[in-house]
Amino acid sequence: MTATKTIEVALSTSGLGPDGRPIRIPLGAEGLTSAPPGLEPEFEGEHMLINIGPQHPATHGVLRLVLELDGETVVRCIPHVGYLHCGFEKIGEYRQYNQIIPWTDREDYLNSMGNNVAFVLGAERLFGVEITERCRVLRVIAMELSRIISHLVWLGTTCIDIGAFTPFLWCFQERENVYKLLEGWTGARLTTSGTRPKTLDQVDRMLTRNAIWVGRTVGLGVMSPEEALNYGLSGPMLRASGVAYDVRKDFPYLGYETYDFDVPVGTNGDVYDRFLVRFEELRQSVRILEQALARLPEGPVNIDDPRLILPPKHKATSEMESMIHHFKLVMEGPRPPIGECYVPIESPKGEKGYYFVSDGTAKPVRWRIRPPSYVNLSAIPRMVEGHLLSDVIAINASIDIVMGEIDR
């Protein structure tokens, strides 16, 4: 059952229409109904090409946008990618499966834990592995914490792009607080974690009904449901256009079908709706985390399978057979059966998928990534054309891209 939430926005700033856009008032001389002939000369101008990026803070990475402008109106936009030269997919073909996991951290570094889980879900399907219940719940916790921190970073940096500084500090303060939590769990700060509802309430009061925020986001970069589907959009970009597609609901994994949470959906498909969808997803992730912590069972995390699990350290240092087993498993790596598989997850940016092809050796013959940032970015020419140059920054921010995922 879908619940509808309507937000009434009262604009208190003069000069804005009910749609949140500035009211344009034509200028004219008092008492003149029309300009005398020859008073207003015909101005002929050429279109101008400008670059935004690849070194620009508002492109959130080495993204280059070539804009053709007619005055301040965007006539054409050509995005250029490929400046990062990551090569993750080709490197993965020369690494054992467990050696690829650190590379997934670097694709979308705001969703490191989520990428790790997505990769091992695909590898485990290839190996035919069934994980323990405790491991399954812990992975849900890791993925939702990553979703929260990714949306927090998006929210804070988008505020900076549009001109709101205080919510940026609130978001990053909570992000830093929970860095310590995840550092205690994983031993590293590269992966990130979540927030508390108090900060969400503060940001809600600051932005959701703020006339300046509404005026800079409503009606920008509109994508209809049909256009969003044709472009292959996913995640908040797709749901903001009114399409209720979420991999956690439509193709459940890790037992997500047993959790009680809602999928927020927009109505207009503009920058403001993308903000509302991501903001509500923060609350839903907190809701999932509470359920996961309540049901976290006792028991082992690792499975009892010597093909994949290293022997205990005390045995590896005292028994010859265990030491040989440890050596062969590390140096040669586990070998899955011949086959192929594709496993999608719902990452903070959309559908993230990994495709594997195995020939029975310890390294994949092919490893391919379906990055939501890359697919969602393909729609930016359609979204910015006809808008002002200043609106390009807000529209680009609403896509929520990470270049490591695009230049994979």
Q: What is the DSSP string of 273-309?
A: HHHHHHHHHHHHHHHHHHHHHHH---S-SS-S-TTTS
pLDDT tens digits along 282-326: 999 999 999 999 999 998 888 888 888 888 888 888 888 888 888
The pLDDT, as a whole number, for residue 313 is 85
pLDDT tens digits along 87-115: 888 898 999 988 888 888 888 888 888 88
Confidence of residue 38 (pLDDT cuts 50, 70, 90): low
Q: What pTM was computed for the model? A: 0.84
C-beta of residue 328 within 8 angstroms of C-beta of residue 308: no
Beta-carbon neighbour count of residue 74 at 10 Å? 22
pLDDT tens digits along 235-261: 999 999 999 999 999 999 999 999 999
Q: How far apart are CA 296 and CA 345, in angstroms?
A: 21
Q: Is 333 exposed, middle or buried (0-12, 13-18, 19+ CB in 10 A)?
A: middle
Of 401, 339, 397, 371, nearest in space to 125 by CA: 339
Of 79, 27, 77, 83, nearest in space to 49 by CA: 77
Contacts of 290 (CB under 8 A, 6+ apart): none
Of 348, 275, 307, 363, nearest in space to 96 by CA: 363
Task: Give the DSSP H/E element, type plus range, for residue 321.
Answer: helix 320-331
Give the CA dihedral 368, 373, 378, 383, nearest 10 degrees.
170
179 vs 97, 109, 170, 186, 203, CA distance in Å?
27, 13, 14, 10, 20
Q: How far apart are CA 125 and CA 163, in angstroms?
A: 46
Q: Which domains does the chain have, with CATH numbers?
A: 48-80 (no CATH), 123-302+372-406 (1.10.645.10)
Q: What is the DSSP letter of 340?
A: E
| Assigned token pair, 269 | 């498909």
Q: How far apart are CA 87 and CA 283, in angstroms?
A: 35
Q: How far apart are CA 136 and CA 301, in angstroms?
A: 9
Chain centroid, CA 371 distance in Å = 10
Confidence of residue 25 (pLDDT cuts 50, 70, 90): very low
Q: How far apart are CA 316 and CA 323, in angstroms?
A: 4
Q: How far apart are CA 309 and CA 302, in angstroms?
A: 8
Only one residue has tokens 């994979």, namely 408
Mean pLDDT of 387-397: 92
* Average per-residue pLDDT for the chain: 84
The pLDDT, as a whole number, for residue 315 is 85
